[in-house]
Amino acid sequence: MPMKLRGRKVLVTGCAGFIGSHLTEELLRLGNQVVGVDNLSAGRKAFMEGAMEYGSFTFVEGDLLSIDLKHVLMGVELVCHFAANPDVRLGASNTRVHFEQNIEVTYRLLEECAKGDVLDIIFPSTSTVYGETKVIPTPEDYGPLVPISIYGASKLACEALIASYCHTFDMNAVLYRFANVVGPRSTHNVLHDFARKLREEPSYLEILGAEPGTNKSYVHVSDCVDAMVVGAERAKEQVDIYNIGSRDRLNVKRIADIVVEEMGLQDVKYNWTGGVKGGRGWVGDVKDMLLSVDKLASVGWSPRLNSEQAMRRAVREIIGQPSGH
């Protein structure tokens, strides 16, 4: 069902994180009253400076596993649930973290949503729910969904929980499956890894995996936020699902070249580690990912930047930030 994204009371979880902080600013700009919750485990207060300029923003520092959600949800009609542990790599060494931070937190939140005034839920899911697909670009109705990472599994479980709570307790949801999102305030991705290593040692770059590395689609956070607004306002189903990404892919070698170029370096020697399980950077890393964005295009959204443009802009934004983040 179409969601109203203006003049409402909204809860954003993960409001101090990368994507959550950008969405919070957009919701405030659209005239909503926003309550943001974050435990600052990965998010930063500095990322909320733009939001803090609005009198209609309230920040609650707290952990979603223990905070009084009834109080936080008082009068809230729309919940944007962006808090999560998004680190795919972690799953192989710590199998519990995605269960707790993603599934358990979502369950706890849904229980309270079902009792309160909540009508609508926006949830950022991920391309990793598809696993390694036989169809590329992968459309939203692709199946079966067989995630190869515990992170992907946890987000798919969240999707299922949200869908079932919506149908059981008469709420609406829009689930977005993101490609890799890049841009200012991101704190953990391949671009940071490369920029950090090159700052420490500008002549040499260790790259996880086998040359030329995985081949994936990247989308800039500004495009991603626009896509979420368009998708929610034009949703048709009680639980609607949209992919968000760009229409092309970049391999890891190309990303390394872009970071090297943008940092003004020359003659950098790449040292590929060889990777695991057939050249992947880490266990659970999908090798080839491109999402079909035709469904969002059919309701009026198209990415302004392709993967290369999004990556190049993000590199400039990240290396231009004072802390290097």
Ligand X SMILES: NC(=O)c1ccc[n+]([C@@H]2O[C@H](COP(=O)([O-])OP(=O)(O)OC[C@H]3O[C@@H](n4cnc5c(N)ncnc54)[C@H](O)[C@@H]3O)[C@@H](O)[C@H]2O)c1
Least distance to ligand X from the beta carbon of 43, Å?
Answer: 2
Least distance to ligand X from the beta carbon of 102, Å?
Answer: 7
Which among 52, 22, 2 is positioned nearest to 231, based on CA atoms?
2
By CB under 6 A, residue 183 contacts ligand X: no
Question: Cβ distance 78 to 11 under 8 Å?
Answer: yes
By CB under 6 A, residue 306 contacts ligand X: no
Residue 217 structure tokens: 């689609």
**The one-letter amino acid at 47:** F
Indicate the residue among 20 and 131 with the shorter CB distance to ligand X: 20
Residues that bind ligand X (rule: CB under 6 A) add up to a total of 29
Run of H or E residues at 219: strand 218-220
The residue ranges of DSSP E strands in 155-304, in sequence order, are: 172-178, 180-182, 204-207, 215-216, 218-220, 239-244, 250-251, 269-272, 288-289
By CB under 6 A, residue 160 contacts ligand X: no
By CB under 6 A, residue 217 contacts ligand X: no
36, 91, 116, 124: which one binds ligand X (CB under 6 A): 124
Instruction: Characterise 274 by phi-psi region: left (phi > 0), alpha (psi -120 to 50), beta (else).
Output: left
Site string for ligand X, 31-50 (x = CB under 6 A): ------xxxxxxx-------
Least distance to ligand X from the beta carbon of 201, Å?
Answer: 26
Indicate the residue among 50 and 202 with the shorter CB distance to ligand X: 50
Interhelix angle 307-320/190-200, rounded to 10 degrees, is 50
By CB under 6 A, residue 178 contacts ligand X: yes
Indicate the residue among 8 and 81 with the shorter CB distance to ligand X: 81
Least distance to ligand X from the beta carbon of 217, Å?
Answer: 11
105, 156, 163, 289: which one binds ligand X (CB under 6 A): 105
By CB under 6 A, residue 83 contacts ligand X: yes
Indicate the residue among 124 and 184 with the shorter CB distance to ligand X: 124
Interhelix angle 252-262/307-320, rounded to 10 degrees, is 40
12, 69, 80, 84: which one binds ligand X (CB under 6 A): 84
Residue for token pair 């803090």:
52
Backbone angles phi, psi at 138, to 5 degrees: -90, 120
By CB under 6 A, residue 317 contacts ligand X: no
* Residue 25: C-alpha distances to residues 137, 140, 207 (Å): 31, 28, 35
Least distance to ligand X from the beta carbon of 93, Å?
Answer: 18
By CB under 6 A, residue 193 contacts ligand X: no
By CB under 6 A, residue 101 contacts ligand X: yes
Residue 18 structure tokens: 């990368």
What is the CB-side half-sphere exposure of residue 150 using CA atoms within 13 A? 19
* DSSP SS3 for 4: coil
By CB under 6 A, residue 16 contacts ligand X: yes
Run of H or E residues at 159: helix 150-169
Residues in touch with ligand X (CB under 6 A) = 14, 16-20, 37-43, 63-65, 82-84, 86, 101, 105, 124, 126, 155, 178, 180-181, 187
